[in-house]
Structure 1
Amino acid sequence: MNSLKHVELSDRQRELLLRGLRFVRSSRMLEFRESSDLNDDQRREELQQIRQLSDLLQNPSASNQPAHV
């Protein structure tokens, strides 16, 4: 999953994606641990990937740099 895709987004599309990422992050953070399909390390890695993608969308100037996801 290291392939790069360049996508041009309108400000509205970017804001919708950011809102969705916040929802996904909150959902994963509040998920019951005993029912989670992820162990703690996998969960932390997934949250880090969500954070990186969110940062990339919030800082358009950083979009010229490759994301390490």
Structure 2
Amino acid sequence: MTSNNPPPDAAGQGIWRNLAIWIAFGALFGVVGGGLLDNVGLGIALGSCLGVAAWAIFIAPRRNSSGGS
């Protein structure tokens, strides 16, 4: 048996927490990539942008379409 109701303590932080996690993983990926290319600052910036883009393309449309009409 499933329910579409979130737990009471999770109200209002779902989409922002999800976006922050994608940005953090993108920045981590940027640190690794930037370290390999000897430009960590650029790697962090591009990695964070990559995280936002991946979230916007793959996660946001799926979350927005799961609600009712």
Same fold (TM over 0.5): no
Between Structure 1 and Structure 2, whose CA radius of gyration is higher?
2
Question: Whose relative contact order is higher, 1 or 2, with alpha carbons under 8 Å and at least 6 apart?
Answer: 1
Structure number with the higher helix fraction is 2
The two structures have a TM-score, normalised by structure 2, of: 0.38
The two structures have a TM-score, normalised by structure 1, of: 0.38
